[in-house]
Amino acid sequence: MKPSAAHRLDARWLLPALLLLVLTLAVVASGLGFIAVSPGQVLRVVAARLPGLEEMARGLDQLVPHVVWEVRLPRILTAAAVGAGLAMSGAVFQGILQNPLADPYTLGVSSGAAFGASLCLLLGLDFWGAYSVCLMAFLGASLTLLAVIWLSSVDGQASPHNLILSGVIVAAILSAGIGLIKYLADEQVAVIIFWLMGSLVSKGWLDLGLTLGAGLLGLVVFMYHARDLNLLCLGARAAASLGVQTKRVRLTLLITASLVSAVCVAVSGIIGFVGLLIPHLMRALVGPDHRLLLPASACAGALLLLGADTITRAALPHEVPIGVLTAIIGGPFFCYVFRRRQMGRVHA
Amino acid sequence: MPETPVFRIAGLRFAYGPTPVLLGLDLELMPGRFYGIVGPNGCGKTTLLDLMVGTRPPASGVIAFMGRGLEDYTRRALAKSLALVPQEMPMGFPFTVRETVLMGRHPHIPRFAAPSETDLAKVEQALAQLELTALADKLVPELSGGERQRVVLARALAQDTPVLLMDEPTSHLDISHALAVLRVAEDLVREQGRTVVAVMHDLNLAAAFCDHLVFIKQGRLHAAGPTVEVLQSGSLQEVFGVKAKVGWDDFAGSRVVIFQKPGGLT
């Protein structure tokens, strides 16, 4: 049977359902861990933060509000926000680059962030406390993006093909640089490697604020341009002849998506496959229209990373770096989806 | 008062880096005609269409569309009057045929508005005109090359513009679909007074459908005029360097071109 639009899910209930799932999982996950807390207690801790409802927390063990509000919730919500940001920017990159295999890291953004972070750890830079690494990662990602755009822009047009090629070249150079840093780092090398594998351990409200702020800004910019992005999927020539300011739209989306993913990487380290896998799955479920695909990807990305983080934090005997976990789960799953799609095409 | 030309092009020059493509091209296209642009590979036909639709700025020269400089139009305003059927159709994303054709309505639909009844009706009409109604819910990546080319054409029809530019609209089509598609384009010109400018490779199809031909050779206008006047064995020899016999054929109802193998008869 040939695939058609009839196989798509109705976004009217899928989006609210995904959102509800994210919230439910966040509440349940906040209760899981070394100290078990019931979902009801979690809700009471949250409610007690609202003005006029302070007495909701009365009668709880005083450890419970601390564990839930200060330790678990910021980390859990940061995981969700990072997942949403990576998935959303993945969908945008795939659209602008007209390549369903692009992801937030295709343009070397991750390598830039990793290089910045490694350099910071190597030199022991400490100008903004714990957030120095984060800031250096963000700087590295932004500079890399500028270099990639500059490299690929001939006569003011950065074609998808040139962008991907430049991204690969710059990433390769930066990887060599990271290798050199690791070699020079001696006993610091473990810290660098651990950061590179991605982690959401001890994320606080500031991390959440940064990620959520970037993510919401991204969502607004992306949704404003969602229809233009649909047209860009038809090719730049067609989009331009249909009234899209291709150059401006592409650059705006490219920079916004890179900033969103740079903030995610800066906060959590390298977490792969979310930005590749989620837009793919969502495209199969709701179709390629970015007006639905972007919010659906954001919700599903949040769900995936929140779930993965909960597994490493509460279910496994030892905490596994989350970037390793998403690659171990996501990689084979992606192979399965990819293979099935290829087979489907052969038999169609 | 004389009619305003749809396009008035004067001294048009363009180069890709150091490679010159258009070397001072002059051309006037009048409304209500079916123009065929012909010329050898690499003579600048596709580049000319790019410049005419405003996706590339000319190095020098003037392009006036409907009496106003092309640069005075916003992209959106231009897209309401001028449609392009490009040659390539990258389609890695699983949009349905109907969704793709609806994108032709983009310049007519405000940013956050839903398509109106008129928009949806134009889409259905375009689908029917190109015999795509049965395929409307299929995903474009699953279609054959010829079917996709018809989708791109349907998108341009849905755009509902007085002027259509087409870059080899029949290159992926079998002869039956090629004739049907050009017939649709011909009706747009004859019955609705629109202007169609199509880059054509098949000279017999061009002879059958285009009332005017524009010969381009090495970035310059070689000849332009009514098909009966300019489609001659002499011009084919000069532009393409091939030996050809051109004559009227009653069965075709048009001029026909017959070619001789290079090197003559053996």
pLDDT, tens digit (0-9, with 9 covering 90-100), for B87-140: 877 767 889 999 999 999 999 999 889 999 999 999 999 999 999 999 999 999
**pLDDT band of B80, cuts 50, 70, 90:** very high
Residue-level pLDDT at A91: 95
Q: What integer is the mean pLDDT of B182-200?
A: 94
Residue-level pLDDT at A330: 83
Shortest CA gap B259–chain A (Å): 34
Q: Identify the residue with better confidence: A328 or B28.
A: B28
Q: Give the residue from A76, A21, A68, A312 showing the smallest Cα distance to A207.
A: A76
What is the distance between the alpha carbons of residues A295 and B240, in angstroms, rounded to a whole number?
A: 54
Percent of chain A with pLDDT over 90: 36
Mapped onto helix, strand or coil, the DSSP state of residue A71 is helix
Q: Identify the residue with better confidence: A44 or B36.
A: B36
Structure confidence by residue, pLDDT tens digits, A276-324: 889 988 998 899 999 999 999 999 999 999 999 999 888 888 888 888 8
Domain A58-347 has CATH 3.40.630.30: no
Residue-level pLDDT at A215: 95
Q: Identify the residue with better confidence: B1 or B76.
A: B76
**pLDDT band of A345, cuts 50, 70, 90:** low
Structure confidence by residue, pLDDT tens digits, A243-287: 999 889 988 998 899 889 888 988 888 888 899 889 988 998 899
CA distances from A195 to A139, A141, A184, A324 (A): 16, 15, 16, 11
Residue-level pLDDT at B184: 93
A98 touches chain B (CB under 8 A): yes
**pLDDT band of A348, cuts 50, 70, 90:** very low
Residue-level pLDDT at B257: 93
Residues of chain B positioned with their CB less than 8 A from the CB of A242? 79, 103-104, 106-107, 159
A12 touches chain B (CB under 8 A): no
Residues of chain B positioned with their CB less than 8 A from the CB of A240? 53-55, 75
Q: Which domains does chain B have, with CATH numbers?
A: 7-259 (3.40.50.300)
Tell me what the pLDDT averaged over chain B comes to. Answer: 92
Shortest CA gap A4–chain B (Å): 5
Residue-level pLDDT at A107: 83
Residue-level pLDDT at A2: 43
Q: What integer is the mean pLDDT of B165-186?
A: 92
CB of B86 closer than 8 Å to CB of B152: yes
Q: Give the residue from B93, B89, B195 showing the smallest Cα distance to B152.
A: B89
Q: Are the Cβ atoms of B94 and A288 closer than 8 angstroms? A: yes
Residues 183-242 of B with CB under 8 A from A: none
User: Which chain B residue lies closest to A344 (C-alpha atoms)?
Assistant: B142
Q: What torsion do the CA atoms of B257, B262, B265, B266 make, to the nearest 10 degrees?
A: -150
Residues of chain A positioned with their CB less than 8 A from the CB of B127? none
Residue-level pLDDT at A158: 67
Which residue in A3, A95, A227 is closest to B111 by CB distance?
Answer: A227
Residues of chain A positioned with their CB less than 8 A from the CB of B104? 242
> Chain A to chain B, count of Cβ pairs less than 8 Å apart?
99
Mapped onto helix, strand or coil, the DSSP state of residue A58 is coil
**pLDDT band of A132, cuts 50, 70, 90:** confident
A101 touches chain B (CB under 8 A): no
Structure confidence by residue, pLDDT tens digits, A153-167: 766 566 788 888 888
B76 touches chain A (CB under 8 A): yes
Shortest CA gap B249–chain A (Å): 38
Residues 232-261 of A with CB under 8 A from B: 233-238, 240-246
Query: Cβ-count burial of B176 within 10 angstroms (0-12 exposed, 13-18 middle, 19+ buried)?
Result: exposed
Interface pTM, i.e. ipTM? 0.88
Bridge partner residues of B84 (DSSP) = B165
User: Which chain A residue lies closest to B138 (C-alpha atoms)?
Assistant: A4
Tell me what the pLDDT averaged over chain A comes to. Answer: 86
DSSP string, chain B: -PPPPSEEEEEEEEEETTEEEEEEEEEEE-TT-EEEEE--TTSSHHHHHHHHTTSS--SEEEEEETTEEGGGS-HHHHHHHEEEE-S-----S--BHHHHHHGGGGGGS-TTPPP-HHHHHHHHHHHHHTT-GGGTTBBGGGS-HHHHHHHHHHHHHHH--SEEEEESTTTT--HHHHHHHHHHHHHHHHTT--EEEEE-S-HHHHHHH-SEEEEEETTEEEEEEEHHHH--HHHHHHHH---EEEEEETTTTEEEEEE--TT---
B91 touches chain A (CB under 8 A): yes
Q: Are the Cβ atoms of B96 and A4 closer than 8 angstroms? A: yes
Q: What integer is the mean pLDDT of B70-87?
A: 93
What is the distance between the alpha carbons of residues A314 and B260, in angstroms, rounded to a whole number?
A: 80
Residue-level pLDDT at A252: 93
CB of A208 closer than 8 Å to CB of A74: yes
Residues of chain B positioned with their CB less than 8 A from the CB of A229? none
**pLDDT band of B64, cuts 50, 70, 90:** very high
B57 touches chain A (CB under 8 A): no
Q: Are the Cβ atoms of A242 and B103 closer than 8 angstroms? A: yes
Bridge partner residues of B195 (DSSP) = B163
Q: Are the Cβ atoms of B79 and A242 closer than 8 angstroms? A: yes
B50 touches chain A (CB under 8 A): yes
Structure confidence by residue, pLDDT tens digits, A67-120: 888 889 999 999 999 999 999 999 999 998 887 778 877 788 888 988 998 998
Which residue in B90, B100, B138 is closest to A2 by CB distance?
Answer: B138
Which residue in B88, B95, B106 is closest to A242 by CB distance?
Answer: B106
A4 touches chain B (CB under 8 A): yes
User: Which chain B residue lies closest to A236 (C-alpha atoms)?
Assistant: B55
Mapped onto helix, strand or coil, the DSSP state of residue A158 is strand
Which of A237, A290, A291, A292 to probe the B interface (max B CBs under 10 A)?
A237
Which residue in A4, A154, A236 is closest to B138 by CB distance?
Answer: A4
B84 touches chain A (CB under 8 A): yes
CA distances from A75 to A69, A274, B35 (A): 10, 18, 65
Helix (H) or strand (E) segment spanning residue A142: helix A132-152
Q: Are the Cβ atoms of B55 and A227 closer than 8 angstroms? A: no
Residues of chain B positioned with their CB less than 8 A from the CB of A224? 111
Which of B84, B85, B93 to probe the A interface (max A CBs under 10 A)?
B93
Length of chain B: 266
